[in-house]
Amino acid sequence: MNTKIFVIISLAVVSTAGMLYADSCTPDCTGKNDGEKVPDPKNCTNYYFCKDEIPSDHALPCDAGMIFDNGDCAPGPACTPICEVTVCPITCNGSYSMISDPFDCSKYYICTAGQVNGPLTCPDDKPYFNGENCVKDKEVCCAVSCTPYCGPGIVEAPDPVDCTKYYMCLEVGIPNEDYHFPCSSGEVFDFQTGRCSSDASCITLCTGSTSNVKSTTTTTTTKTTTTTTSFDCANSLICTGEGFFPQCHFSCQPGYFECTGAGAQGIYHECTGDLVFNTDPLYAYCVLPGNCPFHPSK
Ligand SMILES: *[C@@H]1O[C@H](CO)[C@@H](O)[C@H](O)[C@H]1NC(C)=O
Ligand SMILES: *[C@@H]1O[C@H](CO)[C@@H](O)[C@H](O)[C@H]1NC(C)=O
């Protein structure tokens, strides 16, 4: 594949579906005088001091029984923090879980044991991925929070601002700074598999901006041209497009080809374990043999 051309094309396409927003989880001293206090968005019993419109390095706690309200600590009942982290499933938390593409709401990935398959593209009539399905409603599109978050079943969560670090997850929620670790030297954290890796690319999930993010958007979902061949399984494949294609058109077998783009030589893989590759190109990934052939409902 000609990487240079691919990169240029990718950068030229501005994704309309994938957007990232700065979130409400960082203390904000904008327009505040020196010494003024602002709420700790993550903990409503704490506050920050402002100096030169910059919050103090650490949050300070109100006295016991007090909450931070309206610019100062005051006696108050239990309170909820301002910061709401959008939980955007982008890290695999088990086989057969699906993850969103943080930069393109029309794309998603399927996690199988130790492997991330995709991207798969939602169909035109249901263009947005909601974490489980492709749907019509654009509201489901999620923006990755700039605050780290441990979703259910996640063992290591990405650091949204530093691709060389991660958080160990002991419970669901915003992880503690004590569990913030660097990957080994030369490795970056693969936010999809949830592990440090020497071949992952460094992707900063938090852009801290409200503008559209440039992303790698491919324009077509290609259907494999199942020309009337008398044979079932191919030994090699010249790709008709980007994605994953079954080795066998009619029988459910473990083999499949990974394609980086039209004209490329397909790279042969086999599904892990007992899994077989589904023969319906509309649902191009490894499935349990009992579920094959699987035809997605339209
Ligand atoms: C909020 O901060 C206080 C004091 O720093 C701490 O005791 C409490 O556990 C924190 N609450 C949460 C929900 O993190
Ligand atoms: C994986 O994540 C999804 C969505 O966040 C959640 O519904 C599911 O329970 C998680 N799985 C496990 C094993 O925790």
DSSP letter string over 190-249? Answer: ETTTTEEESS-----S----SSEEE-------PPP-----S-SB-S--B-SSSEEEESBS
Kindly report the protein residue whose alpha carbon is nearest to atom 7 of ligand 1.
61
Q: Which of 21-30, 68-77, 84-93 has the lowest mean pLDDT?
A: 21-30
**pLDDT reported for residue 208:** 54
Kindly report the protein residue whose alpha carbon is nearest to atom 11 of ligand 2.
153
Residue 199 phi, psi dihedral angles, 5° rounding: -110, 10
Kindly report the protein residue whose alpha carbon is nearest to atom 2 of ligand 2.
152
**pLDDT reported for residue 167:** 97
Q: How far is CA 215 from the centre of its chain?
A: 13
Residue 64: pLDDT over 60: yes
Q: For the chain, how far is it from start to end, CA to CA, in angstroms?
A: 33
Q: Is 65 left (phi over 0), alpha (psi -120 to 50) or beta?
A: left
**pLDDT reported for residue 280:** 83
Q: How far from 46 is each of 39, 65, 73, CA to CA, in Å?
A: 7, 12, 8
pLDDT band of 86, cuts 50, 70, 90? low
Tell me which of 224 and 116 has the higher pLDDT.
Answer: 116
Q: Which of 85-94, 111-120, 207-216, 274-283 has the lowest mean pLDDT?
A: 207-216
| Pick from 158, 154, 118: nearest CA to 134 | 118
Q: What is the mean pLDDT of the chain?
A: 80
| Pick from 169, 26, 18, 16: nearest CA to 85 | 26
Residue 87: pLDDT over 90: no
Q: For the chain, give the percent of residues with pLDDT over 90.
A: 41
pLDDT band of 73, cuts 50, 70, 90? very high
**Distance of CA 31 from the midpoint of ligand 2 (Å):** 40
Residue 132: pLDDT over 90: no
**Distance of CA 105 from the midpoint of ligand 2 (Å):** 19
- Tell me which residues have their CB closer than 6 angstroms to ligand 1: 43, 45-46, 61
Residue 85: pLDDT over 80: no
Kindly report the protein residue whose alpha carbon is nearest to atom 4 of ligand 1.
61
Q: Which of 38-47, 90-99, 204-213 has the lowest mean pLDDT?
A: 204-213
**Distance of CA 176 from the midpoint of ligand 2 (Å):** 21
Contact 64, 75 (CB under 8 A): no
**Distance of CA 211 from the midpoint of ligand 2 (Å):** 29
Average pLDDT over residues 135-150: 86
Q: Residue 58, Cβ neighbours under 10 Å: how many?
A: 10
Q: What is the largest CA-CA distance in the chain?
A: 79
Any idea which ligand is nearest the CA of 47?
1
What whole-number distance in Å separates Cα of residue 202 and Cα of residue 196?
11
**pLDDT reported for residue 226:** 33
Q: What angle do CA 70, 75, 79 make, to 5 degrees?
A: 70
Residue 231: pLDDT over 60: no
**Distance of CA 66 from the midpoint of ligand 1 (Å):** 12
Kindly report the protein residue whose alpha carbon is nearest to atom 6 of ligand 2.
152
**Distance of CA 152 from the midpoint of ligand 2 (Å):** 5
Quick check: bond before 293 cis, omega within 30?
Answer: yes
**Distance of CA 159 from the midpoint of ligand 1 (Å):** 21
What whole-number distance in Å separates Cα of residue 248 and Cα of residue 229?
11
Q: Which of 99-108, 121-130, 224-233, 239-248 has the lowest mean pLDDT?
A: 224-233
Tell me which of 85 and 277 has the higher pLDDT.
Answer: 277
Domain boundaries, the chain: 26-83, 97-222, 243-291
Any idea which ligand is nearest the CA of 87?
2
Residue 52: pLDDT over 70: yes
What whole-number distance in Å separates Cα of residue 266 and Cα of residue 40?
51
**pLDDT reported for residue 22:** 41
Q: Which atom of ligand 1 is nearest to the CA of 46?
A: 2
- Tell me which residues have their CB closer than 6 angstroms to ligand 2: 89, 93-94, 97, 131, 151-153
**pLDDT reported for residue 239:** 81
Q: How far is CA 122 from the centre of its chain?
A: 15
